[in-house]
Structure 1
């Protein structure tokens, strides 16, 4: 029998452990599915955003690249918000898109993509339609290696449908080892600055979690007696938030961020952009007289950072190098972060009470996936993430990511419960993911913070003295009925006394469960707590 492109593709995927495919099939992908291997799984998503985000969640849970099949130009177009999030959040996803057969391409056929490789750019690390069908499997292997090389991210390959049946050769085995460390002189400069600092501080970004470097960062912070902040709008945690040195979350506003770091003379940023801002204002990027050092594996990001000295390194390699050079310090430790008081149980329900109750009842090994922009600050203030991998969200802001991300992470669960804390506006961007959750009986509890509108947009409006923003009210949605229609049971909560029993029911359910909690609306402006 002839060894085909299809055979070479599946053999390669099998060799790297990429045997779960997420997708929404169409006509131009049918030949890829001939003799679909028994050792592969196909996870059906009812919309392409869901397919990409679920593959990303699976990748974050397994540590391996996610595999996605999309349908030609239309399917790729549907998915691009999730592709954008995967790119900004550095999640390795190998995206395949069907294309009409090669003899038809020049005639601009129905479902054909005119410039398929250009379509997802610039939000992929690699994008290609091979010139020859015989080269498809090796192009996918190259894409995979690029996806998994720091900084990791999504890649894209367009495959004409008639390529799959062509004869091919097996993909040769290759590996890329990419744990690299900065020049010793650069590490010595940073270590000397930390050793001589009066009040150093570390800013932890998602790159710390991406590289499983949290243990090393804890060692470095304790040795230097340095306070630790999470970078603005980070898609991961990266430092135990119950640690005595943890200081909180930096705001995405330039002047407020600089004010938070006032008094620190040396700032070390690890695996984060310097810095992510959401709204513009003037002022210095960092306090006057402070020195900033930045570790990251992305040469593009280190090149455009507006302030400080950037060091090109993987986080594990760079922090390991610093641990050999930084001396144990007896300088005074920063003050311990205060624990907020638990709000009273009143009706209508304060969103703070919902988050506090979730903190009390959520299993210790649960993974929290969040997409509730108007409640994110209070969640960070009241629900500490204490273990690696315990928190996921989007670092880019395109909605529709959280629910399918949670589904994909649930499919990679080894027994831990996945809790998706999501806004009533956010969930409707990709509510179809509930059906996929039901089909696979994933261990997921969805908690809807229902403030009956796009609360974050309203808050940003109030920040610029715009008290009323059109199109930001959401009424007459019954999320429990929607979930039940997709096979997910649920419960509606409107009274404070019912929060705990509803959450316990949802967390203990065998399979997915949705809890819809109606909360009081917040009329404060965005980022106002940081301005006080």
Structure 2
């Protein structure tokens, strides 16, 4: 009997020409846990999918931005790099908005992009990517088109490890179409560290400053949840009786919003940050930049008399922080080390956050009422993926998140992430209800994601807040000199019918204009076994 297994030399590596680049890459992907392939098909990628393994899953997106958005949500929810396959320059170009978001989200994604055959690249062929490694920069951590076909498996292995090392992020490997059938060696198994412990000497300085201060405030960001440091940060805040704010533009929940020490959300405006942090003598920023600004500001970055300390997983962020002491490393490990210090002096509890008045129903529903109702219907373990920028202040007041891993949004500010990310999160968390909370304008950037949710029968409830406008831009216009009655060109969105759009992709939907009906409609939608869309008409 003849074995079909590839022959090996003394090193254990294959010496069989029938073992190809495709075999080596599939074997590597299986070992790395990347058996879901997020893709939109193209000609230069087809050889990868010949004899597609039965234990792999092809996740189809109807446009490349949808593909990357799904992969982003999936990678964040699984805490492992996802695998994306795009079509040459056009596919990468279509995906760039969500590649930018993945970079800002610090999401590990291995992006492979097709390339024309090596033999015709000198002739500028149709569908070739002229400078494939340059196209996605600067929003990938690393990119390569391997010099030889047999180098492709090792390039993908390196890409995976680069993507997974903190700060995590997307990477890209450009692969000529004729590489897949070339002979190759299996990639040896390796273990590569992905986390770095913060430097003890600097942590000691931060710990001493925390112990000595009188009125500490913590500012927490998305890296807390990315690193699995939620419980440690809660314990550290309780140990120091520190008020806890959420950093501006944070893409993950980082502290329970019903906690006695929770103080609210910082805006992306320098003067307002200084005002809200006033009265604190030490500001400890954990897992976030210090600080993210959205408009030009003036004056100091901190209140008078306050000292800044920062624990961050990204050395670039530590480098541009305008003041203070910064230590770089894994958030969970750093906070865990701070918790090993002797208990500090007892401080009085700070004043609690003022309670918000209830939102009341009205003939034309307010966003606050809609989100308050969603909070009452939603289970605390349900996951919300949000992309409704103008509604975020109301969400922060009326839709609290109290458990780790239950909230995702984009760190980038780029639209088109939320709907496909909800699909990716649902794939990563089978049986968990996912709520895609999306603005009407945002939804139109990647509404094709509904199709993917329907085809995979995922338990997603898409809640579209329809105010018939790009409200975030209209609300922001006064910052740039617009008067109350001045029109903002291109920001009205009349005539969109989201129920009809959903129906065209096989998803049942309901339009709600009556505040009295909202509770029951949301309750039924959240109980459905498959995707549902609820269009909520709001003021």
What is the rounded CA distance, in whole Å, between the counterparts of 1:364 and 1:39 in structure 2? 33
Unmatched tracts of structure 2, length 5 or more = 5-17
What is the rounded CA distance, in whole Å, between the counterparts of 1:132 and 1:208 in structure 2? 40
Provide TM-score, normalisation by structure 1. 0.96
Q: Report what 1:112 is aligned to.
A: 128
Are the counterparts in 2 of residues 181 and 321 from structure 1 also a CA contact under 8 Å?
no
Provide TM-score, normalisation by structure 2. 0.95
Task: State whether structure 2 residue 436 is matched by structure 1 residue 420.
Answer: yes
Q: Which runs of 4+ in 1 moved over 6 A?
A: none
Q: Paired residue for 1:302, among 318, 323, 348?
A: 318
Q: Report what 1:258 is aligned to.
A: 274
> What is the SS of the residue equivalent to 2:465?
strand
Structure 1 residues 15-414: aligned runs within 5 Å = 15-325=31-341, 327-414=343-430
Unmatched tracts of structure 1, length 5 or more = 521-532
Following TM superposition, by how much is the alpha carbon of 1:326 offset from its aligned partner in structure 2, in angstroms?
Answer: 5.3
Are the counterparts in 1 of residues 269 and 295 from structure 2 also a CA contact under 8 Å?
yes
What is the rounded CA distance, in whole Å, between the counterparts of 1:185 and 1:436 in structure 2? 50
What is the rounded CA distance, in whole Å, between the counterparts of 1:187 and 1:310 in structure 2? 9
Following TM superposition, by how much is the alpha carbon of 1:419 offset from its aligned partner in structure 2, in angstroms?
Answer: 0.5
Deviations 1:408-455 (A, max 9, x none): 111112321001111000000000000001000111001111110100
What is the rounded CA distance, in whole Å, between the counterparts of 2:162 and 2:198 in structure 1? 21
Are the counterparts in 2 of residues 461 and 468 from structure 1 also a CA contact under 8 Å?
no
Task: State whether structure 2 residue 489 is matched by structure 1 residue 473.
Answer: no
Deviations 1:211-254 (A, max 9, x none): 00011101110111111111101000111111101101111000
Following TM superposition, by how much is the alpha carbon of 1:283 offset from its aligned partner in structure 2, in angstroms?
Answer: 1.5
Are the counterparts in 2 of residues 223 and 326 from structure 1 also a CA contact under 8 Å?
no
What is the rounded CA distance, in whole Å, between the counterparts of 1:514 and 1:388 in structure 2? 25
Following TM superposition, by how much is the alpha carbon of 1:300 offset from its aligned partner in structure 2, in angstroms?
Answer: 1.6
Are the counterparts in 1 of residues 206 and 325 from structure 2 also a CA contact under 8 Å?
no
Following TM superposition, by how much is the alpha carbon of 1:493 offset from its aligned partner in structure 2, in angstroms?
Answer: 0.5
Q: Paired residue for 2:518, among 477, 482, 499?
A: 499
What is the rounded CA distance, in whole Å, between the counterparts of 2:55 and 2:198 in structure 1? 41
Following TM superposition, by how much is the alpha carbon of 1:325 offset from its aligned partner in structure 2, in angstroms?
Answer: 1.9
Following TM superposition, by how much is the alpha carbon of 1:84 offset from its aligned partner in structure 2, in angstroms?
Answer: 0.3
Are the counterparts in 2 of residues 98 and 161 from structure 1 also a CA contact under 8 Å?
yes
Deviations 1:376-421 (A, max 9, x none): 0110111111101010000110000000000111111232100111
* Aligned-CA RMSD value: 1.0
Are the counterparts in 2 of residues 437 and 512 from structure 1 also a CA contact under 8 Å?
yes
Deviations 1:27-71 (A, max 9, x none): 000111111111100011000000001011111221211111000
Q: Report what 2:531 is aligned to.
A: 512
> What is the SS of the residue equivalent to 1:106?
helix
What is the rounded CA distance, in whole Å, between the counterparts of 2:473 and 2:180 in structure 1? 46
Are the counterparts in 2 of residues 345 and 353 from structure 1 also a CA contact under 8 Å?
yes
Are the counterparts in 1 of residues 222 and 288 from structure 2 also a CA contact under 8 Å?
yes
